[in-house]
Amino acid sequence: MTSKKLRVAVIGPKGQAGSCVVDELLTRGHAVVGVSRNPPKQWKHGADDGSYASASVDIYTEQKKLIGVFSSDFDAIVCAFGPSLASLDTVYEEGVEAHGRMKTALLASTHEGPFIIVGGAGSIHVANRLQLTDQKDFAYSWWWTWPDEHLDYMTARGLDHGSRFISVVAVLMKWSRSHIQRPRVYSWLLRPVTYLVQRWLRRCMTDRKTISLITMCRMAFTMWNGVTEKSWSFLSPPGLLRDKGVRTGHYKVFIDTPEDPATEAAENGIYNEDMAVAIVDEVENNKLAFKHWSCTGPIGLRKW
C-alpha cells in the first residue's frame, strides 16, 4: 500500500466490479473519478479518506471528449466497462465497439500510467494454447463442472440481478446433473425428463447470443494484447467469481499465457471485494504491465 495519494479514473463505476474498485480506492485515501455515460454524482458509501468526482462521457459517440478524459493527468485508469445486457443481440457488437474506441482514445491521449482492463474468465488459457471459451460445448461444458454450491449462488444471483433465465438454468443444471451423477431409487423414472432438460441446456448454453458477453471479453483481450505504446494489463476474473461477498484482503495472482495457462484460476473463484484489493494493489505498484493475469481468493465465507 502506497502512502502517496493517487488520482484514478474508474470506467464503469456502477458495475459489480467497478463499484468495489471505487470502494477500495476511497478506503485507501485515493482520489477517484467515476467515468461513464451517467456516473454517480456522489459515492453511496462515502469517501473515507479519499475523494470522489465524476466525468460524464459517451464512449460510443464522444471520442474527442474521451481522449480528453484519458489525458486528465490520472496516475492510473481502471476499465471495468460492461455493455448493456438489455438485449443479447447487441452485447458482442457494443462491447467490441466500446473497447475499440477506448483503445483508440488511450493511444491518442497523454496518459502514461497503468491502464487496467477487467475482462472475463473466458479469456483464460486452459490447455493446448486454447482458451476457456474454445472448449467443446462452452458454456454448457463449463457449467457442468461447477460445484453445487456455485450453482446455488448463481440461482440466488440471477434472482437478485433480475435475470430469471440465469436462475432457471442453474436450478435445472443442478437438478438434472444430480440425477445423472448420483441417481436415486426413482431416478430411472425421471430419466427421459432429465435428458430432455440436459439437451435443452446444451442447446441454450452454447448459443452464440447466450455466451456473447464472455466471447466479447475474449475479443477485448485480443484487441489489447500486443499493444506496446501504452502500459496496460488485462485481468480475467477466475471462473467462480462472486459478488456481494467478504473482503478478506487475501488473494493469489496468476499470470496467464498460452504456454503456461492459469488453469487453477479458471477452476477457482474470488469475491469481487478481494479482486478489487488485487486491482488497487496493481494500481499502486504497477507490477503486471503488459500481462494477462487472474487472481483467486477465499469464497463460500457467507451465504449469498
CA angle 40, 45, 48 (to 5 degrees): 115
Q: Is the per-residue pLDDT at 47 higher than 60?
A: no
Residue 32 in any domain: the answer is yes
Q: Over the stretch 91-130, which tens digit does the pLDDT of each residue have?
A: 999 999 999 999 999 999 999 999 999 999 999 999 999 9
Structural domain ending residue among the three candidates 205, 230, 248: 205
Longest CA pairwise span in the chain (Å): 68
Query: Taking residues 159-171, what's their average pLDDT?
Result: 92
CB–CB of 73/55 below 8 Å?
Answer: no
d(CA 253, CA 235): 10
Nearest-10 Cα torsion for 251, 255, 258, 262: -20
| Same-domain pairing of 199 and 217 | no
Q: Is the per-residue pLDDT at 75 higher than 60?
A: yes
d(CA 181, CA 178): 5
Structural domain ending residue among the three candidates 159, 187, 205: 205
| pLDDT level of residue 85 (50, 70, 90 thresholds) | confident
Q: Is the per-residue pLDDT at 242 higher than 90?
A: yes
| Same-domain pairing of 100 and 218 | yes
pTM of the model: 0.95
Residue 21 in any domain: the answer is yes
| Same-domain pairing of 47 and 154 | no
| Same-domain pairing of 64 and 25 | yes
| pLDDT level of residue 48 (50, 70, 90 thresholds) | low
Percent of the chain exceeding pLDDT 70 equals 97
For β-strands 31-36 and 7-11, DSSP reports them as parallel
Name the DSSP letter for residue 132.
G
